[in-house]
Amino acid sequence: MTHGMVSAAQPEAVEAGLEALKAGGNAVDAAIATALVQTVVDPQMCGIAGFGSLHVYDPKRGIHECLDFHGRAPLATKPDMWEHLLIGESEDGFGFQLEGKVNEIGYGAITSPMTLRALDEALRRYGSRKLGDLLAPAIHYAEQGFMVRPHVAAYWAQVPTEGRAPHAEMLTTLPATRKIYAKPDGTLRKMGEVLKNADMGATLRRIRDHGVEDFYAGDIARRIAADMKANGGLISQADLADAKPETNPPLWGTYRGLPIATNRPPGGGLMLIEMLNILEHFDLKAMGHNSPGYIATVAEAMKIATVDKDAKVGDPRFVTVPLDELTSKAYAEPLAARIKRGEKTGVPRLKGKQKESADTTHVVAVDENGVIATMTHSLGTPSGVVTEGLGFMYNGAMAVFDPRPGRPGSLAPGKSRFSSLAPSIVFKDDKPFLAIGAPGGTYIAMGILQVMLNVIEFGMSAAEAVAAPRFNATSDTLDITNRILRSTETELKSRGYDVRRWPMNFHFAGVHAIRIVDGRLDGGADPGRDGMAMAV
């Protein structure tokens, strides 16, 4: 009997999820077990001091909702505190460059740590296990070590772009961080070498023995708050106490009659629905997969949604988001007409062409009873900060807030920043058909969109759909991966597009998905992320 399937970016984490299923756990138990290991073996893509969104569907219990745990600006935040430091905006819209990188690296970069409490809450609401019962694999990999995988090594070695800090700097600047990630000679571990993090193992053991609230109101919380105060950080014990996830109903849309359930702002599901509404007006299948016409059409939808997001979307607790308008079929119709007339949408960006890194991960799990858990969780951009003796790295999500007051993404105390993460489920004949999600910064919605289209329009399996070549348009440049044909690139340029070819064969989000057809599961793990999809 098949108990279920897990797809994620780390083989060690997938195995932990499979073991949870084999032990009688449901898809939520499996997803949380997977996520806990992810925080150890992919410690810059996610962490217990990160943020994210979990989309849960449980047909037998009548549950279908999103547990959103977006990081919030500290209560000490001032709306104009960084305005005078502004240098530029990332080309893809994922963050701002400030003098001194105060929003990117160090104690000022940290938003409220949401992930650990959210994982615990998810198990209480939807799971059948306690968090302490699922921590053993994560503790094992922290204390016994994990082998550095290609994607981890590549990330550590990356120098994002001019004006952005090399990742090695983030891992070696602060003593507590350097102690974990650097070898005695000061270099980072290479692919295949083993990294142990005894301090994180000890922290996870304390959480197992004393409960998650120790992190938010107990001894760990006091150590966090003391470290922040001593180093000019904005996070306080009040921020830790307020770091609680929110439950929301899914945001719904349709594409060619198929219902699409995704997350609400400040998550990225709204962009996904808007793009699908626009693309419904085109015969994409007749154009041909990744043909010049197909790429140009989908890219214009991407740019339109990006412009709308920048201008109109933020934390609904602080910004009035025109949700009904942006997700309506009527709103999409004239936008599609613009594309058909050959109009190109420009994406306004503040001076500068720095690109941000995409530091996030994903897990999707389905079990034999039809329960689905698809969750994206992240550090945003890692802050590089590790409190001495605790072992885990804090998020650096303040980097995405707009330092200019009066804008949807501007700074405010307790405000969540927009995130493109969009764990989603496609339905067919009133049953789940595709569970999907991705890491990848501003590329997330764009990667999910293309994989959805690959499955719905072109009949691909989950594995085929996530492995197909992708492209991206979140600026005035149309980015393509190296497996997009050169002849296609030439045609796009002849149509007036500024095309940039990337050397990577797999890029623009790391999509993971499970497709459900006649009760059978097939999974896809993005080849660019070292992961796997496996049933048990």
**Catalytic residue ranges:** 360
Rounded Cα distance between 262 and 65, Å, is: 9
Q: Could you tell me how far CA 20 lies from the centroid of its own chain? A: 23
Rounded Cα distance between 500 and 510, Å, is: 19
Rounded Cα distance between 76 and 233, Å, is: 9
Rounded Cα distance between 67 and 53, Å, is: 6
Rounded Cα distance between 35 and 17, Å, is: 8
DSSP summary character for residue 290: T
Contact between 98 and 411 under an 8 Å Cβ cutoff? The reply is no
Q: Could you tell me how far CA 250 lies from the centroid of its own chain? A: 17
For residue 450, give both structure tokens. Answer: 């293309």
Please name every residue paired with 129 in a beta bridge, in sequence order, or none if there are none.
Answer: none
Please give the span between the terminal C-alpha atoms of the chain, in angstroms, as a whole number: 8
- Residue 23 dihedral angles phi and psi, to the nearest 5°: -85, 5
Q: Which distant-in-sequence residues (6+ apart) come within 8 Å of 330 by Cβ?
A: none
**Residue environment code for 69-108, b if the CB has 16+ CB neighbours within 10 A, otherwise e:** bbbbbbeebebebbeeebbbbbbbbbbbbbeebbbbbbbb
DSSP summary character for residue 463: H
3-state secondary structure 167-181: HHHHHHCCHHHHHHH
Half-sphere exposure of 299 (CA within 13 A, CB side): 30
